[in-house]
Amino acid sequence: MYDPLTFHHEFTPEDFEAQYNLRTGRPDYEVTVIPDWQARSETARAAMTCKSDIRYGTGERQRLDVYACGDSGAPTLVYIHGGYWQRGDKSLYGFLAQPFVKAGVNVVVIGYDLCPAVTITRISEEIREGMAYTWRNAADLGVNRDRITVMGHSAGGHLTEMMMGTDWPAFGDDLPRNLVKAGIPVSPLSLLDPVRQTQGLNAAIRMDAAEAEAQSPMLHHPPLTDAPQMVVVGGAETEEFHRQAQMYVDAFATDARPVTLYVVPEVDHFDELNVLADPNSEFFARTIAMLREAA
């Protein structure tokens, strides 16, 4: 078993901050990256059929958006946004949904409550509630519950891995063990103790050592089916993000369970999503292939 206290280099808190607090390396994040995603998503929503703000739980932000391709039997992509469990909003990701809808995929984007109002533990529970709601209400949502792929970025990558490690029949006795047919964790946080040691990030997350261990996919939430996974990381991301992705692949890939690593060339943590939104990119092509094969 991986030990969160010894599985990293002799990093200082400042080293962890540099490796994980990625907005410090993108001074344009608030003035360019987010406004660009917001504007593109507003334009995309206006061009698509979208059911917005469907409530799936009691939390303030427990709502989801469904972007329809017009075929209820098509593959279903459930997307979980990032933001270190403390920032972000589902409304920013219509720009990601658009190329998938055009390619014949129904997209569900799940929103969730944020730290410090709730804990990471509760956020994992909320996403499970969103997944279960999508499966149980697929007919009303106009999606195919038998072809669900879950994908998430950064904190959403962690939550994607948590969904792959969920015992669905234990969560709801009507739920199938193989509720999720494929997973795509993008720049995931597979081991949480290093994040706990970043003062700038953990001030709002308020994660202690016990929660960091309990909510780490590497330690307590291995995949519970042989559903294929593609773990993704940007080529220009930090050493720690490459390690976070590689360790999951190394630990859980088997002959029966394909878990592969794809490195998006020459992009950082944020620009990899712009590549994903490009229907001519290899990242998009690999993702579409997994969606179409998931059954």
Whether 6 maps to a domain, the answer reads: no
- What is the C-alpha to C-alpha distance for residues 194 and 202, in angstroms, rounded to an integer? 10
What is the mean predicted confidence (pLDDT) over 211-220?
Answer: 97
3-state secondary structure of 53: strand
Is 8 within a domain?
no
> How is 15-27 classified by DSSP, letter by letter?
HHHHHH-GGGG-T
- What average pLDDT is seen over the chain? 94
Number of domains the chain contains: 1
In a domain, 7, yes or no: no
**Domain range holding 288?**
13-293
Domain-located, residue 117: yes
DSSP symbol at 56: -
Confidence of residue 5 (pLDDT cuts 50, 70, 90): very low
Reported in sequence order, the residue ranges of 30-180 that DSSP labels E, i.e. its strands, are 49-55, 63-68, 76-80, 106-110, 148-153
Residue 5 forms part of a structural domain: no
Whole-number Å distance between alpha carbons of 283 and 256: 24
Per the domain annotation, does 2 fall within a domain? Answer: no
Q: What is the pLDDT of residues 6-51, one digit of tens each?
A: 555 567 878 888 899 888 888 888 889 999 999 999 999 999 999 9
- pLDDT band at 164; cut points 50, 70, 90: very high
CATH number of the domain that 20 lies in?
A: 3.40.50.1820
33 φ, ψ (degrees, to nearest 5): -60, -55
Residue 182 is predicted with a pLDDT of: 98
**Segment among 27-36, 102-111, 244-253 with least mean pLDDT:** 27-36
Q: What percent of the chain has pLDDT over 90?
A: 88
Specify if 88 maps to a domain.
yes
Half-sphere exposure of 210 (CA within 13 A, CB side): 1
